Amino acid sequence: MSETFEPKIIAFVCTYCTYAGADLAGTSRLKYAPNVRIIRLPCTGRISPMFILKALQKGADGILISGCHPGDCHFTHGNYHARRRWMVFRSLLDFMGISPERVKFSWISAAEGGKFADLINNVTEDIRKLGPFDQYKELIMETEAPATL
């Protein structure tokens, strides 16, 4: 393969901090990798693990989840709840063989446009190094294939 692999990354972000941070990155004319599709949600507390599974089911190679720093949540503690949930879900994915390298978490405030751009670049590079999530894609392919027996 001569072409470099371009990973598909889905980012679930909260509207009050990380989405505003992404906005700032844009209005500051910062350049970052175009591999990320951003999905805006009201709060990290709204980010259900179902979203992560759905993204994988639809062929994502990596997933980024990001919201307000602890203490900054618009709803006071949505991100604290989310943090516990991720801790557990991350370990579950790890145990099932879905490498935690593919599912990343971060805190990015509305003022951190620079951090957002850097993070997207880093995450994209990390996932590029890991390569496409072939093991999961095999399962997806199987669902589209005719019966074998």
What minimum distance in Å lies between the beta carbon of 2 and another protein? 25
Closest to 16 (Cα-Cα) out of 84, 72, 60, 99: 72
Among 105, 112, 124, 127, binds another protein (CB under 8 A): 105
Helix (H) or strand (E) holding 65: strand 62-67
Q: Which positions from 44 through 103 interact with another protein, judged by CB under 8 A?
A: 49-50, 53-54, 57, 70-71, 77, 80-81, 83-100
What minimum distance in Å lies between the beta carbon of 148 and another protein? 6
Q: Residues 6-45: x/- map of binding to another protein (CB under 8 A)?
A: ----------------------------------------
Nearest to another protein of 1, 96 (CB atom): 96
Residue 146 touching another protein (CB under 8 A) = yes
Q: Which long-range contacts (CB under 8 A, 24 or more apart) does 20-25 make?
A: 20/109, 20/110, 21/108, 21/109, 21/110, 21/111, 21/112, 21/113, 21/115, 21/116, 22/113, 22/116, 23/110, 23/113, 24/110, 24/111, 24/112, 24/113, 24/116, 25/113, 25/114, 25/116, 25/117
- Chain positions contacting another protein, by CB under 8 A: 49-50, 53-54, 57, 70-71, 77, 80-81, 83-100, 104-107, 119, 135, 139-140, 142-149
